[in-house]
A and B are shown apart, each in its own frame.
Chain A
Amino acid sequence: MAVRKNQANLTATEKRNFVDAVLELKRSGRYDEFISTHNAFIIGDSDDGERTGHRSPSFLPWHRRFLLQFEQALQSITPSVMLPYWDWTADRTPRSSLWADDFLGGDGRSGDGRVTSGPFAFGSGKWPMNIRVDGRTFLRRSLGTGVRELPTRAEVDRVLAMSVYDAAPWNSSSDGFRNNVEGWRGPNLHNRVHVWVGGQMTTGASPNDPVFWLHHCFIDKLWADWQGMHPKSGYLPTGDTPDVVDLHDTMKPWNDVTPADMLDHTKFYTYA
């Protein structure tokens, strides 16, 4: 069974294979299609209208499918590559090996936030910002300035303890596990990590930073962990909810996959 590992435990070869596959997807143009898709849903998903990728119950299954599609694209380059996850409760400083030059590269420089080291630095010539919200064409980060602290393990545990998956009105004002993980409510987990990284990660075009995938892989693992803790709690809602993806509704843009299809991640991978 394919295993998704903590990024901190990857071998040098695994890091190199991951980076090389990401760069090849970028070179071929396939990477930017993922950015465009994400940006489209970010703009289209609204609290009082149709909502699929974000601020809705399908935030978790939508991103699970999105990550699977990206992982399969990576595997079309190098079959052994798996998405790693970033446990930001443990690796919570800019000194983490995550940000080393043999992996994602470092923080942005002062002044303009430009990442100047590692495989995704502008100077490498291999990581142009083609899908962007402003004129800047270089990857930017500003680790820990938009918000000082990443979420703690205690904050994660507080959210994992919530036994109800989601609740009406099924948006950014909901109670329940999903919205507390997403971060519109409660200690703020997922949203806060985007802000902590800074740069493109704070924008609708956040997959411009490869850390997007490692961040969402950990969010996906938290969903799996939550399911293990609350085996009697299912995805909600289960039917007839306007503008919201019910358990057996298909999700855009794929239109052939439902939240129900995404509930059991062990059909696709396991977490180490």
Chain B
Amino acid sequence: MSRPTRRQILHGSAAALAGAALAAPVAFADTAAARPADGHGQAAGDGPSGGHEMPEPFDEMYEGRHIEGWPADEEGAQNGGHNSSGSHAGRHAGLAGPHDGMDFVVRIDNDDLHVMRNADGTWISLVNHYETFTTPRALARAAVRELQGADLVPVVTG
């Protein structure tokens, strides 16, 4: 195993411990099974659809916190590419990179917030994991309210 970077340690060391139990997360791809969102907390009805629109990037101050988000496939363009190389190495080492398995990157004061898209197009985050939001921006704002000023910390999963 190659020596992990600090970033991998911050975001991936725990995943390495859990790695025996967990497959590497698979990057989200729009599928025919994906369906449009129809509002907060409700699954959409069955039926074919062409998948979801990827939400627009955002960057704003909300209740004193800097929240930003962008589609994960723009990671390299917006972030100098250092993360994508890190996560690639991470996969080789059995580590999960910070954004592996995420289709949208969300940060609060430059710390990563793990987010996930549901099949109906709604979103959840690690901070609000049992409640769905129609957009990553709404999810980021909800996380800010939940955090009450606290900083996010690297995720520990194993």
User: Which residues on A are within 8 Å of B, measured CB to CB?
Assistant: 36-37, 39-44, 46-50, 55, 112-113, 131-136, 146, 169, 171-173, 183-185, 188, 190-192, 194-195, 202-204, 206, 252-253
Contact = CB atoms under 8 A, between A and B. Distances in A.
Interface stretch (B23-31, B53-61, B72-80, B85-93): B23-31
Contact of A44 (B20, B25, B120, B131): B25
B126 A195 contact: no
B23 A202 contact: no
Given A42-B129, A195-B131, A49 B155 contact: no
B35 interface: yes
Given A40-B15, A43-B25, A253-B21, A202 B101 contact: no
Contacts, number: 132
B144 to A, nearest CB: 11
A188 B41 contact: yes
Interface in B135-158: 146-148, 150-153, 155-158
Given A40-B158, A48-B31, A135-B150, A173 B129 contact: no
Contacts of A39: 126, 155-157
B10 interface: no
Contacts of B15: 40
Given A37-B158, A40-B157, A203-B126, A46 B26 contact: yes
Q: Is the interface of A mostly helix, strand, loop or mixed?
A: loop
Contacts of B151: 134-135
B130 A191 contact: yes
Interface residues of B, number: 45
B18 A202 contact: no
A89 B151 CA distance: 35
Contacts of B23: 44, 49-50
A224 to B, nearest CB: 22
A131 B132 CA distance: 23
A48 B157 contact: no
Given A43-B157, A202-B128, A172 B43 contact: yes
Interface in B55-110: 101
A249 B31 CA distance: 25
Nearest to B114: A43
Nearest to A252: B21
A49 B35 CA distance: 16
Nearest to A254: B21
Given A40-B21, A42-B129, A48 B119 contact: yes
B9 interface: no
Contacts of B120: 172-173
Nearest to A168: B33
A162 to B, nearest CB: 15
B119 A173 contact: yes
Given A47-B119, A172-B120, A203-B126, A132 B153 contact: yes
A204 B22 contact: no
Contact of B157 (A36, A113, A135, A190): A36
Nearest to B17: A36
Nearest to B152: A134
A48 B26 CA distance: 8
A134 B28 contact: no
Nearest to B126: A204
B124 to A, nearest CB: 9
Contacts of A183: 130
